[in-house]
Amino acid sequence: MTREEKNIAIDALVDRISNSAHFYITDLSNLTALETTKLRAMCFKKDVTVQMAKNTLIKKALEKMDGEFDEMYGVLKGNSAIFFSETANTPAKLIKQFRKDSERPILKAACIDSSIYIGDDQLGALADLKSKEELIGEIIGLLQSPAKNVISALQSGGQTLSGILKTLENKSE
């Protein structure tokens, strides 16, 4: 790879990382071709993009970007693949699901909204993160709950009142 090709690859990585709020660096080594194909198919279904890259190119791309990525430099050893996603927890859930049948991929590091997570032991915490849509849904549900209770109470009270009136009407006849 010539220096010019490396610079183009680095610029492409910088563009990709800066346009993605969430990315995971993983180790996919020792996966068979069949397992790799299965993983890529799962990623495609979940709108997760996988890109293989050399560690030195990843490091140079991170150095070019705004932000503190120094913590990630230590994990850039061996084989590395980057998972890009619009949803923070999707790659973690995907990795956990895939690892039911395989030992890999192993999480090296993740960057979620400029927060850095290092190590495979963070996978559970990342999978449990709620997406923006899930949080909004929970908030709306919580806000609607008291209003639903009031409406329900009023409706049931109205039915009780109308039942009493019908009973009184029937007695007077």
Q: Classify domain 3-129 at the CATH topology level.
A: Alpha-Beta Plaits (3.30.70)
Q: What confidence tens digit (pLDDT) does each residue in 83-122 have? A: 999 888 899 999 999 999 888 899 999 998 878 999 999 8
Neighbours of 25 (CB within 10 A): 22
- Class of residue 120 by CB neighbours under 10 A (exposed 0-12, middle 13-18, buried 19+): middle
Q: Encode pLDDT of 24-37 as tens digits.
A: 999 988 888 999 99
pLDDT in tens, 34-57: 999 999 999 999 999 999 999 999
The token duo for 2 is 């010539």
Weakest-pLDDT range from 46-55, 72-81, 89-98, 139-148: 139-148
The 8-class DSSP code of residue 65 comes to S
Domain boundaries, the chain: 3-129, 130-173
Burial category of 170 from C-beta neighbours within 10 Å (exposed 0-12, middle 13-18, buried 19 and up): exposed
